[in-house]
Structure 1
Amino acid sequence: MYKFGGVLVILVSSITTIYAQSPSNEDNDTASGKTFLPGITVSTSADASAEGLSPPYAGGQVARGGRAGILGTNDNMDTPFSITSYTNELIQDRQARSVGDVLQNDPSVRVARGFGNFQESYFIRGFILGSDDVAFNGLFSLLPRQYIATELFERVEVMRGASAFLTGANPGGGGIGGAINLLPKRAPNEPLTRLTTHVGSGWHHNVGVDVARRFGPDQKIGIRFNGAYRGGGTAVDKEGVQTGLAAVGLDWRGDKLRLSADIGWQDNRLKRTRTNVTLGSGITGSPRLPDPTTNFAQPWSYSNESDIFGTLRGEYDINAYLTAWAAYGLRRTDEKNSLANFTLADRDTGDGYATRFDNTRKDNVDTGEIGIRGKFSTGPIDHRVVIAGSYFENERKNAYAWDFFNQLNTNIFSPVSWEKPDFSSSAFRGNNLSSPGLTGRTRLLSFAIGDTVSILEDRILLTAGFRHQNLRTESYAYDTEAKSPAYDRNRISPSVSAVYKINKQFSIYGNYIEGLTQGDTAPGTAINSGQVLAPYVSKQKEIGAKYDGGHIGATIALFTTTKPRSIIDADNVFTSSGRDRHRGVELGIYGEVIRGLRLLGGATWLDAKQRSTGDVTTDGQRVIGVPSFQASMGADWDIPGLQGVTFDSRVVHTGSSYANDVNTVKVAGWTRLDLGLRYLTEFRGHLVTLRGRVDNVTNRKHWASVGGYPGQGYLVAGMPRTFVVSASIDY
């Protein structure tokens, strides 16, 4: 496919597209003053669910509600948790290419990078969630492990806070601070054929096609196909990327039975991508930054990942009061990379070195869930009961070679390119790179039951429940595949919560909920590399308030969460030590403040401290990579007198943070400005959308993130000024 490197990429469409709102929102959108051209009327579900998608809120950038795990999709005002569902309209208008691009709009989330490679990871309330722990339609770890293109999903749902009762234990060690769920695309009621092309910095180009049809009596059968290719460079010198993908979504809507299925493929190839910057032991103070376009990666470095995934889901109405469902999903992943991560030895001169690290990996993921929901009344009290069970298994195969002592001297400001070195006899090795061996297996089993009680005509909602979980992790030694003693324990995770709706505009809520995740895996730099620590139990308390003014919504949440922590100790052993306590306040705003002006954003204050570490140098210090303050605010403005023309802007601010657990290396905060312009018109009966965008308008030098893996304080240089222009046409 890549031989056709001239052709191009992206995009995208979806059920609720930009100027094609569902009937439930037509009144709001007309009142907003937006000028709508002929589009697609959408009324469909993102899965085999009678609930369907939560309708867009005024302005179309977020939905009115989202999915709270096994409790299903609910309106925000009825939900005792903090949830934001970002729509496909926002995804398209911001020309987002990945989940991380979408979450730049979220004030409680910051995008980072996984350890040693180019995986997206996300700080949610200051806790790390890896992209391989993102859920797809409620099932964990099904979409590509390191990078998820936006063509593969309809919406991004962010549920902030611990969620063991709601979603089950997170298999990869994340999920303490929140969960991310992506909703699949489904065929809308009207035919859809959309072609999108774009070109951007570094002559990055892409072409995408989005086709959907419904068939049969009452259009019960739907099919939707998305295909895309991306290729070219980036705004960073000599970086290269190629991404190909194809996805098919099917659904059948009967009177009592609803079925859906997804199958997809993504192949993502990175060439000479700028690496993480590891700080040498002698560095104190904030490291200087290179020019934003400087590429200090070695010319032979690359990272390739290919994924195939699929899901099946069914829902059946047993009667008017009971609905049962079942789902199954799988992912098969092949990864191969040759890396040369940079270690900075002198922050003033920029001197440092790179070492070759090669890695191959295979993942086999199988997961599923079954459940039943019921509703009944006991006198004046209404009940909504849910019972569910889930299963998850991931078998991991891995091999590596690391030539730590063969250091390639270079400089972050004036990089030195080396020929690809052969591995020396002193290189560390594990398994065969051409045939990686079994290194780990994770199995999760759970059973959950919950009841939501509503009284006083739904003004008071009380929810209580628990999830019984069995976590089993197995580790196998490199080369010999000798099995270490398995970790196999059970845990009950409770939750209680309440919502009080003061009136139609205001509600207050509170919750106590726990998180349960697999313990962190020791990185390759530790003596006990590959060892999985015991699962982490976190405890969260939260209170908040929500406002819905019809066209403008706002939220505030106050929370505290504690979690066991992990470090590499003085003996180079990866171990659990003490706990992290995160206290914070979140503010959010969304909707249409005045006619033609839409806002989306907010701010988060975080007090993330290390506690009970047993070490006076770390006890009470701030957690690596977590700022005390961060904020995002975006505005969309329909320019008066220019029909179909909209200007958008976004400011993203991240405060300073620390790159080590003793807080001697402080990394400066940063503020970034992004601007965009779009024009919607009609050409010969076809809807045409033209978009242009510039991110980091001022070309601000900044360290975009600090860390992204527990106990690690590596840095990632922010992207330079980046532009993209695109055109899409609906046939």
Structure 2
Amino acid sequence: MAFVASQAAFAQQDSDAAASAETTQTTRKSASEKVLPAVTINSRKNSNAPLEQDVSSGALGTRSQLDTPFSTTIVTGEQLADRQASKLGDVFFRDASASDNSNPYNAWASYVTVRGMQLDWQNGFKIDGQPYNGYGITMPYEQLERVELLKGLSGFMYGFGAPGGVVNYVTLKPPVSSTPVRSIDVGYHSTGIWSEHLDLGGRVGPNDMLGYRFNATHEEGKTYNDGNVRRNSFSLAADLKITRDLSATFGALYQERHTSGITTALSAAQYTGTALPGRISGGSSTIVTPDQHLNTNLQVYTTGLRYNLNDDWSVSGTYSFSKSTRDRNESTYYLLDSAGNYNDTRYGGKEGHQFGTWQVMAEGNVKTGPLSHQIVVGGAYQTQHNDNGANTFYSQIGVGNIYQANTNRYEGSGFYTYRNSDVTQKAIFASDTIQLTQRWSVLGGLRYTNYDQKGYALDGTTTSSYSQNGVLTPTVALMFKLEPTTTLYASYVESLEAGTVVGTSYANSGELLKPLRSKQYEIGVKSERERWSASAALFRIERGSQYANSANVYVQDGESVFQGIEAGTDFRLGRDWSMGGDLMWIATQYKRGSSNNGNRVAGAPGFVAAAHVNYAVAAVPGLKLGVDAKFTGNTSLNPSASLNIPGYLLMNLGATYSTRIAGHGVTLRAALDNVLNRRYWEFQYADYIAPGEPRTLSLNAKVEF
């Protein structure tokens, strides 16, 4: 993760900020006489005020972070470019609630832990609010407008999903004005990866009725551990103003990515020691073999219509189709002892996933006597098809040691898939945010879902099924405006996550487990000021537990409890300096199960802290320097609490220089990650670890034309 801390909240001079604040206050005063404060804040999209930025919340519609009664994070496209993110953990480096479990060059690309819970790679990822399967997918971050993280449960907002949270990738959109967007950039990443990226956008036709945004990226080269990567990514977004009140949108994203010599997964499921082996570098060639690979393909297509009935009401309809496929030849090294010896077990096969989603929604404002209502109602229909390997290879191919070169090889081919499972969700939902007084408001929402899940054998016969109608997932919240820019809230939400299809490494492989219900309680505060912003939340989450027992059977047993506090702030010191910090403390335990009661939940670090400092060099206009750091506390590796991963500290440096040459905007970026070249073990999944990435250098040069 390359760091150049965001200057977005602190870029303006004092006089500009004061003028902006005065204008915003006038807008608030005028709008509050007619509509809800939530709607008033939604109309503001000031990038210099992070909490005032809009965040998508599924069935809750779109509202500002300040008026969303849940903990959220937004990372802008500019911040992604400054950080030169190559995996999901890079994106949320400055968020203490998000712990990195990812790797940019293997199937763990999208793994991240939020509040001690890993995101659901089947249902926890969206592109422009629409679902896709995130397993093994490294996103084209250079083609994104922003990345949104809704922490905790999302049952009412998005339907079935694990309680860690939801990541929504927002692709670059057509420009609002007639000023075209044209740029090209060239990048370099350790130790020999080059990328080229083209960004074109504009508006054409009478009254600029048609807007477009096209992006294309090619990336290829040698990774820091002597592997190879080759990627081609394309995205297109368009909007059409059919009439003054009717508009249409279209979006498409296509990516083909090939990686070879990928970092091997390390498992402690067969480990006999009480402390992990000595740490190695993620750049070590001893855990890489040239025959291992991961090839992925991602396709997402969306279309929608929106009609403004009047100034207060609008209706919309969207359809999306996504398809992701994986071709893997990937080993798992089952560690045996502290000397680093292992059994080398190889997986070879293909998988695939498809989502088709329809959604209609109406949003509006009404008054009933002295009360104002912000109402969202709608319905959704979603199908999910999962394809598994029909002739999967999974067997031990040899032994080895993590400190020595691996000579085991497996060259498999001819793999194909079959329909493994289907999931159908039919839902209706409604929410009402009621303005009780100028300061008090209450939110209530309910999603009603008919859920059906089936598992199939290779010959197409149904091997397992789960069906339930009338599944209710509610949310309620109470909000108090201490002042126009400060919100206190208390919220409650429930969620259900789809039943797990047990993986190939367990004794009950292929079994379909029942859905799990979770509950979340949260009390928080958010405040946005001229020179600083801050947020804090107390939370408690209760979730059904799943883990492998002593017989290596993956079971549902008891519940996991997560309770803690998270807090963060960003502030500006004078004209040139800005800094911020974020922390999370969390206590977790297994309860009411047949085993592991009282143990810490695997994957949940007890304490995480992040900090960043930025300096705009006054002597060199356009030059910004930054440093950020993140400490991740020790983490329990397995439910039995027999192994812990020691805590570690990472530091990153970055610089951005913006200028004009021959009338063209030019931006140069440099980033140095893991400056101290620390070696550390990173939690990836229960019983799985990975060596942390070594020191890496990223460079980028962008020219506007």
Which residue of structure 1 aligns with residue 441 of structure 2? 461
Which residue of structure 1 aligns with residue 309 of structure 2? 318
Shift of 1:355: 2.0
Which residue of structure 1 aligns with residue 228 of structure 2? 240
**2:193 pairs with 1:204:** yes
Q: Structure 2: how far apart are the matches of 1:22 and 1:218?
A: 33
Shift of 1:393: 1.1
Q: Structure 2: how far apart are the matches of 1:26 and 1:724?
A: 35
Q: Does the 8 Å contact 2:329/2:412 carry over to 1?
A: no
Counterpart residue identity of residue 94, structure 2: N
Q: Structure 1: how far apart are the matches of 2:139 and 2:540?
A: 30
Q: Structure 1: how far apart are the matches of 2:333 and 2:577?
A: 44
Deviations 1:448-504 (A, max 9, x none): 1111101323x2121012111122111012x33321242011311111101101113
Shift of 1:374: 2.2
Q: Does the 8 Å contact 1:365/1:394 carry over to 2?
A: yes
Of the structure 1 ranges 575-584 and 275-284, higher mean CA displacement relative to structure 2 is found in 275-284
**2:348 pairs with 1:333:** no
Q: Structure 1: how far apart are the matches of 2:15 and 2:211?
A: 24
Counterpart residue identity of residue 311, structure 2: A
Q: What are the equivalent positions in structure 2 for 1:130-149 lying under 5 Å apart? A: 130-132=120-122, 133-141=124-132, 146-149=137-140
Deviations 1:227-267 (A, max 9, x none): 0011112222x121111111111012342112111112101
Which of 223, 239, 245 pairs up with 2:212?
Answer: 223
Alpha-carbon spacing, 1:31–1:723, altered in 2? closer, same or farther (3 Å): farther
For the residue of structure 1 that corresponds to 2:462, the secondary structure is: coil
Counterpart residue identity of residue 146, structure 1: I
For the residue of structure 1 that corresponds to 2:17, the secondary structure is: helix
Alpha-carbon spacing, 1:54–1:487, altered in 2? closer, same or farther (3 Å): farther
Which of 466, 469, 478 pairs up with 1:487?
Answer: 466
Which residue of structure 1 aligns with residue 452 of structure 2? 472
Q: Structure 1: how far apart are the matches of 2:171 and 2:15?
A: 23
Q: What are the equivalent positions in structure 2 for 1:584-663 lying under 5 Å apart? A: 584-615=564-595, 618-663=596-641
Q: Structure 1: how far apart are the matches of 2:503 and 2:573?
A: 48
Q: Does the 8 Å contact 2:392/2:415 carry over to 1?
A: no
Which of 690, 698, 702 pairs up with 1:724?
Answer: 698
Q: Does the 8 Å contact 1:300/1:420 carry over to 2?
A: yes
Which of 550, 554, 558 pairs up with 1:574?
Answer: 554
Q: Does the 8 Å contact 1:99/1:149 carry over to 2?
A: no
Counterpart residue identity of residue 301, structure 2: G
Counterpart residue identity of residue 727, structure 1: A
Which of 63, 69, 93 pairs up with 2:82?
Answer: 93
Q: Structure 2: how far apart are the matches of 1:726 and 1:523?
A: 40
Which residue of structure 2 aligns with residue 187 of structure 1? 174
Q: Structure 1: how far apart are the matches of 2:669 and 2:109?
A: 28
**2:73 pairs with 1:84:** yes
Q: Structure 1: how far apart are the matches of 2:82 and 2:73?
A: 18
Q: Structure 1: how far apart are the matches of 2:283 and 2:401?
A: 15
For the residue of structure 2 that corresponds to 1:101, the secondary structure is: helix
Q: Structure 2: how far apart are the matches of 1:168 and 1:665?
A: 35
Q: CA RMSD in A?
A: 2.8
Which residue of structure 1 aligns with residue 527 of structure 2? 547
Which residue of structure 2 aligns with residue 436 of structure 1? 417
Shift of 1:418: 2.8
Which of 444, 450, 453 pairs up with 2:431?
Answer: 450
For the residue of structure 2 that corresponds to 1:341, the secondary structure is: strand
Which of 264, 270, 276 pairs up with 1:286?
Answer: 276
**2:697 pairs with 1:714:** no
Of the structure 1 ranges 308-317 and 130-139, higher mean CA displacement relative to structure 2 is found in 130-139
Alpha-carbon spacing, 1:666–1:208, altered in 2? closer, same or farther (3 Å): same
Counterpart residue identity of residue 551, structure 1: R
Q: Structure 2: how far apart are the matches of 1:520 and 1:293?
A: 33
Q: Structure 1: how far apart are the matches of 2:63 and 2:641?
A: 42
Alpha-carbon spacing, 1:124–1:313, altered in 2? closer, same or farther (3 Å): same
Shift of 1:52: 8.3
Counterpart residue identity of residue 487, structure 1: Y
Which of 619, 637, 645 pairs up with 1:667?
Answer: 645
Alpha-carbon spacing, 1:492–1:726, altered in 2? closer, same or farther (3 Å): same
Deviations 1:366-412 (A, max 9, x none): 11211111211112110111111112111112116566654322211
Q: What are the equivalent positions in structure 2 for 1:501-512 lying under 5 Å apart? A: 501-512=481-492
Q: Does the 8 Å contact 1:541/1:561 carry over to 2?
A: yes
Q: Structure 2: how far apart are the matches of 1:263 and 1:22?
A: 33
For the residue of structure 2 that corresponds to 1:363, the secondary structure is: strand
Alpha-carbon spacing, 1:725–1:216, altered in 2? closer, same or farther (3 Å): same
Q: Does the 8 Å contact 1:56/1:62 carry over to 2?
A: no
Deviations 1:271-309 (A, max 9, x none): 111122111231321331123421212220001011222
Shift of 1:51: 10
**2:545 pairs with 1:565:** yes
Shift of 1:338: 0.9
Alpha-carbon spacing, 1:212–1:271, altered in 2? closer, same or farther (3 Å): same
Counterpart residue identity of residue 615, structure 2: W
Identity rate, percent: 24
Shift of 1:596: 2.4
Alpha-carbon spacing, 1:187–1:421, altered in 2? closer, same or farther (3 Å): closer
Q: Structure 2: how far apart are the matches of 1:597 and 1:357?
A: 50
Q: Structure 2: how far apart are the matches of 1:498 and 1:29?
A: 31
Q: Structure 2: how far apart are the matches of 1:445 and 1:601?
A: 42
Which residue of structure 2 aligns with residue 427 of structure 1? none
Gaps of 5+ in 1: 1-10, 12-16, 33-48, 424-432
Q: Does the 8 Å contact 2:608/2:631 carry over to 1?
A: yes
**TM superposition score normalised by structure 1:** 0.87
Q: Does the 8 Å contact 2:293/2:329 carry over to 1?
A: yes
**2:353 pairs with 1:366:** no
Q: Does the 8 Å contact 2:239/2:248 carry over to 1?
A: yes
Q: Does the 8 Å contact 2:348/2:393 carry over to 1?
A: no
Shift of 1:314: 1.5
Counterpart residue identity of residue 400, structure 2: T
Gaps of 5+ in 2: 22-38
